Amino acid sequence: MSSPVGPSAPSNLSAAAARLARQIEFIVEVDKLKDIFRQTVTTQTRRAENDAEHSWHLCLCVIVLAEHANCGAALDVLRVLKMVIVHDLVEIDAGDTFAYDTAGMAHQHEREAIAAERIFGLLPPDQAREFRGLWDEFEARETPEAKFAAAVDRFQPMLLNCRTQGAAWNRHGITQDRVIARNQHIAAGCSELWTYAERMVQAAVDAGHLQPKPAA
Amino acid sequence: MSSPVGPSAPSNLSAAAARLARQIEFIVEVDKLKDIFRQTVTTQTRRAENDAEHSWHLCLCVIVLAEHANCGAALDVLRVLKMVIVHDLVEIDAGDTFAYDTAGMAHQHEREAIAAERIFGLLPPDQAREFRGLWDEFEARETPEAKFAAAVDRFQPMLLNCRTQGAAWNRHGITQDRVIARNQHIAAGCSELWTYAERMVQAAVDAGHLQPKPAA
């Protein structure tokens, strides 16, 4: 068990203090999420967004948009928040996979599951199980909470893309049909948000910020 | 009311769609939080942390450490999370005030209250009231939830400072006595965390990363 100055220092802690120290080592480890960069750029300086900022922005989306969830007031907002807070931690080891990188996606879940073992395993066992369960639930996209979390996770980068003249889409040659195909599961968690997103994407095409499907 | 391509576009939305569009403009506006930089540096590259990353890191601290709150299981974790998600939004207009900048703190709350009016006022009125209420509760530090939120808000930068050899403290000549005086209200929300923090600070002094109180 590590002491307050770091993992290499000696320890003379009670079990309760050792549990807290272990939790704090986890909090230090996940600071690395601030250096995992995404393809999406921020609206102000148009630099690459990192996973920690993205995760915060999703939290904000959740508390602002929860009322629109398909399941209505039955949505367990706390569980949605917990999911979005931890959903990208696996990328500390596995890296970010761009939403349109089909090659990268082939082994994505495998790499991320190995990362989940290590990263959540830093916590005390009961919390490791809880956090791993949240990540598994998010990945499976079966519960109303996971569907809503996935909806905001797909909507937020679309929104940033639309407000930066399609920066990430254009850099990677992504066309409207791929944006629609990749993100339409937003409707499973929040059909109102998908209606908005479809209009937003069409507006981006009309403005010349996103290319339509190429002719066959 | 704005359309999906931005505030200047014409609108032909229903009341429900207009409400959603207004909420999404708020979500776009607060993207600016990613460019509000703090004195604290990250553990990996030692660049300045921004408010969005900091807010995410607090969310993570809340869900990992909630069990240690002084009020125990009575803690409303969802309300704590909502508070930490929105607690720094006022800094979009008011800027970050370093925890040890006593001159800057003189008019801090005044500047931030003006910012709160504008920023939360972007939301539909019912949500503007809810979010403003969360920020007021956080600032007043009277409820168990606000005390716990304030505890993690003070602990997280101390932790990053300790794990970066006191980078921000040393750059500003902050000494141990000021660290203790400024952060001891952590104990009001989470006395276990304060016990840990005191040991951590002493370890930083012992390691030469934080200077003790200067002789009178």
Can you say whether the dihedral through the CA atoms of A26, A32, A37, A42 is positive or negative?
A: positive
What CA–CA distance (Å, rounded) separates B57 from A212? 39
In Å, how far is B59's CA from the nearest CA of chain A? 7
At A13 the pLDDT is: 75
Beta bridge partners of B3: B6
What CA–CA distance (Å, rounded) separates B3 from B25? 9
Of A28, A45, A59, the CB nearest to B59: A59
In Å, how far is B125's CA from the nearest CA of chain A? 12
Q: Which of B11, B13, B28, B31 to mutate to test the interface with A (most CBs of A within 10 A)?
A: B31
Asked if the Cβ–Cβ distance from B200 to A35 is below 8 Å, we say no
- Chain B residues in contact with A9 (beta carbon < 8 A): 203
Q: Which two tokens stand for residue A121?
A: 């395993």
- Chain A residues in contact with B61 (beta carbon < 8 A): 27
At A46 the pLDDT is: 96
Q: Which of B4, B81, B91, B82 is nearest to B39 (CA)?
A: B91
At A12 the pLDDT is: 67
Burial bucket for residue B126 (CB in 10 Å: 0-12, 13-18, 19+): exposed
Residue pair A137/A82 in contact (Cβ under 8 Å)? The answer is: no
At B1 the pLDDT is: 39
Asked if the Cβ–Cβ distance from B50 to A49 is below 8 Å, we say no
Residue pair B90/B112 in contact (Cβ under 8 Å)? The answer is: yes
At B8 the pLDDT is: 43
Asked if the Cβ–Cβ distance from A59 to B57 is below 8 Å, we say no
Asked if the Cβ–Cβ distance from A85 to B56 is below 8 Å, we say yes
At B2 the pLDDT is: 43
- Chain B residues in contact with A78 (beta carbon < 8 A): 77-78, 81
- Chain B residues in contact with A21 (beta carbon < 8 A): 196
DSSP states of A69-100: -TTGGG--HHHHHHHHHHTTTTHHHH----TT
Q: What is the pLDDT of residues B14-55, one digit of tens each?
A: 999 999 999 999 999 999 999 999 999 999 999 999 999 999
Of B53, B77, B123, the CB nearest to A78: B77
In Å, how far is A193's CA from the nearest CA of chain B? 8
- Chain A residues in contact with B203 (beta carbon < 8 A): 3-5, 9
Asked if the Cβ–Cβ distance from A203 to B43 is below 8 Å, we say no
Q: What is the pLDDT of residues B184-216, one digit of tens each?
A: 999 999 999 999 999 999 999 999 999 999 887
B36: closest chain A residue by CA: A44
Q: What is the pLDDT of residues A53-82, one digit of tens each?
A: 999 999 999 999 999 999 999 999 999 999
At A9 the pLDDT is: 44
Half-sphere exposure of A207 (CA within 13 A, CB side): 17
Residue pair A87/A153 in contact (Cβ under 8 Å)? The answer is: yes
Q: What is the pLDDT of residues B154-188, one digit of tens each?
A: 999 999 999 999 999 999 999 999 999 999 999 99
What CA–CA distance (Å, rounded) separates B18 from B124? 10
- Chain B residues in contact with A17 (beta carbon < 8 A): 192, 195-196
B42: closest chain A residue by CA: A31
Number of neighbours of residue B56 by Cβ within 10 angstroms: 29
pLDDT in tens, chain A (216 residues): 344 444 444 456 799 999 999 999 999 999 999 999 999 999 999 999 999 999 999 999 999 999 999 999 999 999 999 999 999 999 999 998 888 888 888 888 899 999 999 999 999 999 999 999 999 999 999 999 999 999 999 999 999 999 999 999 999 999 999 999 999 999 999 999 999 999 999 999 999 999 999 887
Of B28, B44, B195, the CB nearest to A35: B44
Non-local (6+) Cβ contacts of A144 within 8 A are A69, A70, A71, A74, A75, A189
Query: Which domains are assigned to chain B?
Result: 18-206 (1.10.3210.10)
Output the pTM of the full model: 0.94
Q: Give me the residue label for tokens 């450490």.
A: B65
